[in-house]
Amino acid sequence: MASQELITQLNEILKHEWTGVAQYSQAGFIIEGVWREVYADRFLGDAKESFGHAQLVGDKIVALGGVPVATRNEIRQSRDLQEVLQFSLEFEAKAVEMYEKALELAEGNRPLVIFLEDILKDEQEGVDEYTKLLRNSSAAGAAATHSAKKSG
Ligand SMILES: [Fe+2]
């Protein structure tokens, strides 16, 4: 029987994943202008990833004898793309932190540790990806053009 503390933490995670489903879907719906072409699919893909994680975690909570929550936290939204990317990075970083805490509580339960680590890997990929997307791409582009000119 899993500790109540672990089930409570998994439910906090589930709530966060449901928040991700709504937050990323909304970001995908409202993005307009030329960047819609690039980011609408990306955000909807991240909503699907959150849904996939919610499914895994919800099933696991029941397997451990708990009852999954069916609520979410407030979403953060903006029409400013930079801001949406920042919200996304913060969302992914919070997920990493939450799965790490669950991992501490799961210590000694090898299959559960592997289950959580598997998802943690996805969350860290999210952090890495949004970190790269938020880097000053116009400055990077200018540097690339500059070095291309020099070598040409
Ligand atoms: Fe997730």
- For 120-136, the pLDDT digits (tens) are 999 999 999 999 999 97
Q: How far is the CA of 152 from the centre of ligand 1 (A)?
A: 45
Q: How far is the CA of 50 from the centre of ligand 1 (A)?
A: 4
Q: Is the dihedral of CA 94, 96, 100, 103 positive or negative?
A: positive
Q: Side chain identity at 76, as an amino acid letter?
A: R
Read off the pLDDT of residues 89-131 as tens digits, 9 standing for 90 and up. 999 999 999 999 999 999 999 999 999 999 999 999 999 999 9
Confidence of residue 137 (pLDDT cuts 50, 70, 90): low
139 token code pair: 């400055």
CB 96 within 8 A of CB 124: yes
Instruction: Report residues near ion ligand 1: CB below 5 Å.
Output: 53, 95
Superfamily of chain region 4-134 = Ferritin, core subunit, four-helix bundle (1.20.1260.10)
Q: How far is the CA of 80 from the centre of ligand 1 (A)?
A: 23
Share of the chain above pLDDT 70, in %: 89
In angstroms, how far is the first alpha carbon of the chain from the final one? 67
Confidence of residue 67 (pLDDT cuts 50, 70, 90): very high
Residue 16, Cβ density class (10 Å: 0-12 exposed, 13-18 middle, ≥19 buried): buried
For the beta carbon of residue 83, count every other beta carbon within 10 angstroms.
Answer: 12
Give the DSSP H/E element, type plus range, for residue 21: helix 4-30
Confidence of residue 152 (pLDDT cuts 50, 70, 90): very low
18 token code pair: 């449901």
Q: Side chain identity at 144, as an amino acid letter?
A: A
Read off the pLDDT of residues 17-41 as tens digits, 9 standing for 90 and up. 999 999 999 999 999 999 999 999 9
